[in-house]
Amino acid sequence: MKPVSAEKVRVSDTFWTPYMELVRKVIVPYQWEVMNDRVEGVAKSHAVANVRIAAGLEEGEFYGFRFQDSDLAKWLEAAAWCLATERDPGLESLADGLIEDLGRAQWPDGYLNTYFTLKEKGKRWTCERDSHELYVAGHLIEAAVAYRRATGKTRFLDIMRANADHIDSIFGPQEGKLHGYPGHQVTEMALVGLYGETGEKRYLDLARYFIDERGRKPAFFELEAAARGQPDDKGYFRERMAEYNQTHLPVREQKKATGHAVRAVYMYSAMADLAALDGDAKLAEACRELWKDVTRRQMFVTGGIGQDESWEGFSEDYDLPNASTYNETCASIGLVFWAARMARLERKGDYFDVAERALHNGVLSGISLDGRKYFYVNLLESLPSVVAGTRDMNYASTTRKGWFPCACCPPNLARLIASIGGYIYSSSPGGRGSPPNVSVQLYIASEASLDIAGAALRIALRGDYPRSGRIGISVSPDRPACFSLRLRIPGWCAGFRLSLNGGDLNLAPVEGYVSILREWASGDSVDLELPMPVRRVAANPAVTADAGKVAIARGPVIYCLEEVDNGPNLADIVLAAEPRFSERFEEGLLGGVVAVYADAFRRGNGGAGPREAGEGGIQDRASELAAWGDDLYRDYEPFNTPLRIKAVPYYAWDNRGENEMLVWIRQG
């Protein structure tokens, strides 16, 4: 399976195109201003200045984290995908200028990292466990590949090939090289991508080496510490450090997702890449085990992952605390990367079910509708008064922020949204008894061109997903061609209707896809309807945090309650046993969304007596609490106040002022 890359897909979608426009017109320009420290009231970046200082173009001192350059890398990648969508000479010249500066900041031997150029000059390659040197390189390589594909220009790719060659001269199995691997993974998948773009097998070999070497004993990070003369330096998480950075076991023996979630899913992505490219069955099996652990035991209903704040990472199976979770935006983005790669490894609808779950919920929740504010941490339940006093509000904030001291998430969102077209289609020439095939993985209105079964195919997808599940697909090969068109039937969909050129097709999905195998001719059209009733979702009984609660869902979209619609104290709201759902597309609401209404009641406790419902059903919390006075506990004397609640898509919460929010609602 090979995805149809973003630059070959033209997206014209009611849902995604506005986001892509936002990236191009607002987010990329805004983030450029932030990284130039020209935006007031947000965390200082200094990322551009670091490069210009390292390039000798400015005086000054390095500022920021050791991985500050990676923000620029992700921004450049976002810019690249924007340029692939639409030419923009101003943006291209900004990007070209930055690329030139990066070239000037590069050492003659190919090394490129402003922190270790300016701040700790003599210390390169001495503490990869913490240094993020390979991490920064990885993101820059990914950006360079994207920039080459988007613009056809090679300068950036040349810079990063020289950098990759330098890394190849430092790391590897050969004597005299460091027998190591990245402290923060991403380099591995970047090198696979660089191999894909250049055909240079050395890069693939190095990626494979990094993956294979990881977890071997004696551990590289311990040898490195000894070489620094710090044999007792075990790192920030001490005895948990190896789990934190996934070096506790060889990757093929890892069955349970552990440690820092972004590191983990970036690594699993490379593992899936290599399993597919090498036909490595053992690596594929490890990927499947880890996939099961992450998505079946440690994933929120929003596609959020990494529930443990202490190390921004995984926890125990079924430990999914809604109010105290971490769910870094980057982790959900990484889950999409991984899912897409798992789908290349084997065709199972589940992979893009998860990708879609993350995209429509836990990824997009990371960004405000105006593109200028971001969540780093994605709570599923927010009570601002408590969160403010109990969490690190630099990251676990209850309202989005303009930037972060560690600003990994905002440009990561930008590059993913800008390249969303690359996740829609994939194709395979078939073989070994399997016909050539084209798969539709996400229902994003778009048009793509690809070669299949000897024909040049134009495939176009129409619809207004996820507002509705009515999808039209036109299939136009330049000459009749026999191949299978495979359409993902989402796991949330209880029944679907499929027709070909107006005639019903009665096909059963296999592994999440229906396959229409025939000789296709120009003008063929397929209609697919995925009914989208409002659903209530329950969690596995082992998830105690969700016991007695349901989440409201419609299609791939998970809903939430916000205080602005339902009044404060959302935890008091109980969904009726038969909640008579209604839905309404509201043009003016949150950029145009389907709002969901349902019967519910507020259950008061403790003899406070029934109260009047306020305007629009909003309770007056002050009077409710006043009735309790100073009492913390009272005998139980319940009373119910009926209420028609309004739920909105989770990804769009916190766009109407800071307020309470709740995904899992008590079910009466």
Q: Which stretch binds its own copies (CB under 8 A): 145-153, 271-279, 326-334, 546-554?
A: 546-554
Question: Is 606 near its own copies (CB under 8 A)?
Answer: yes
Nearer to its own copies, 109 or 631 (CB): 631
Question: Is 299 near its own copies (CB under 8 A)?
Answer: yes
Residue from 605, 617, 640, 644 in contact with its own copies (CB under 8 A): 605
CA distance 317 to 12: 40
Q: Retrieve residue 196's tokens.
A: 């894909």
Q: Which stretch binds its own copies (CB under 8 A): 40-48, 61-69, 532-540, 580-588?
A: 532-540
CA distance 262 to 650: 22
Total residues at interface with its own copies (CB under 8 A): 61
- Report the site for its own copies in 103-122 (rule: CB under 8 A): none
Phi/psi region, residue 242 (left: phi>0; alpha: psi -120 to 50; beta: rest), is alpha
Q: Choose, from 77, 309, 312, 660, the residue flagged as catalytic.
A: 312
Which distant-in-sequence residues (6+ apart) come within 8 Å of 162 by Cβ? 106, 110
Q: What angle do CA 640, 643, 644 make, to 5 degrees?
A: 155
Question: Is 539 near its own copies (CB under 8 A)?
Answer: yes
550 neighbors 538 (Cβ within 8 angstroms): yes
The H or E element that residue 271 is part of is: helix 261-278
Nearer to its own copies, 496 or 628 (CB): 628
Q: Choose, from 408, 409, 493, 560, the residue flagged as catalytic.
A: 408
Nearer to its own copies, 418 or 645 (CB): 645
Q: Which stretch binds its own copies (CB under 8 A): 56-64, 118-126, 311-319, 448-456?
A: 311-319
CA distance 161 to 172: 17
Least separation in angstroms between residue 549's CB and its own copies is 9
CA distance 188 to 3: 19
CA distance 77 to 72: 9
Q: How long is the chain?
A: 668
Question: Is 2 near its own copies (CB under 8 A)?
Answer: no
- Report the site for its own copies in 330-389 (rule: CB under 8 A): 381, 383, 385-386, 388-389
* SS3 of residue 160 by DSSP: helix
Residue from 333, 550, 560, 663 in contact with its own copies (CB under 8 A): 550
x/- site string to its own copies, residues 156 to 195, per CB under 8 A?
A: ----------------------------------------
CA distance 117 to 125: 12
The position carrying tokens 């004597």 is: 175
Q: Which stretch binds its own copies (CB under 8 A): 361-369, 413-421, 513-521, 531-539?
A: 531-539
Residue from 125, 597, 628, 639 in contact with its own copies (CB under 8 A): 628
- Report the site for its own copies in 555-574 (rule: CB under 8 A): 569, 571-572, 574
Rg of the chain, C-alpha, whole Å: 25
Kindly provide the b/e burial profile for residues 75-104, where b requires at least 16 CB atoms within 10 angstroms of the residue's own CB.
bbbbbbbbbbbeebeebbebbbebbebbee
Nearer to its own copies, 102 or 543 (CB): 543
On the CB side of 264, CA atoms within 13 Å amount to 32
Least separation in angstroms between residue 548's CB and its own copies is 5
* SS3 of residue 517 by DSSP: strand
Least separation in angstroms between residue 483's CB and its own copies is 32
What pairs with residue 598 in β-bridges? 645
Nearer to its own copies, 474 or 605 (CB): 605
Is residue 312 part of the annotated active site? The answer reads: yes
Nearer to its own copies, 42 or 537 (CB): 537
Q: Which stretch binds its own copies (CB under 8 A): 31-39, 173-181, 513-521, 537-545?
A: 537-545
CA distance 259 to 199: 33
For the beta carbon of residue 34, count every other beta carbon within 10 angstroms.
24
Which distant-in-sequence residues (6+ apart) come within 8 Å of 14 by Cβ? 445, 464, 467
Q: Burial level of 452, CB count in 10 A (0-12/13-18/19+)?
A: buried
Residue from 168, 280, 308, 312 in contact with its own copies (CB under 8 A): 308
366 neighbors 329 (Cβ within 8 angstroms): yes
Question: Is 547 near its own copies (CB under 8 A)?
Answer: yes
Least separation in angstroms between residue 472's CB and its own copies is 27
341 neighbors 272 (Cβ within 8 angstroms): yes
Q: Which stretch binds its own copies (CB under 8 A): 265-273, 293-301, 339-347, 425-433?
A: 293-301
Question: Is 624 near its own copies (CB under 8 A)?
Answer: yes
CA distance 442 to 426: 10
Q: Retrieve residue 433's tokens.
A: 């008894």
Nearer to its own copies, 59 or 635 (CB): 635
Residue from 506, 580, 635, 657 in contact with its own copies (CB under 8 A): 635
Residue from 538, 576, 613, 618 in contact with its own copies (CB under 8 A): 538
CA distance 111 to 123: 12
Q: Which stretch binds its own copies (CB under 8 A): 273-281, 503-511, 583-591, 605-613?
A: 605-613
- Report the site for its own copies in 481-520 (rule: CB under 8 A): 494
Least separation in angstroms between residue 429's CB and its own copies is 32
80 neighbors 95 (Cβ within 8 angstroms): yes
Catalytic residues: 312, 408
Residues that bind its own copies (CB under 8 A): 292, 295-297, 299, 301, 308, 315-319, 321, 323-324, 381, 383, 385-386, 388-390, 494, 535-544, 547-548, 550-551, 569, 571-572, 574, 603-606, 608, 621, 624-625, 628, 630-638, 666-667
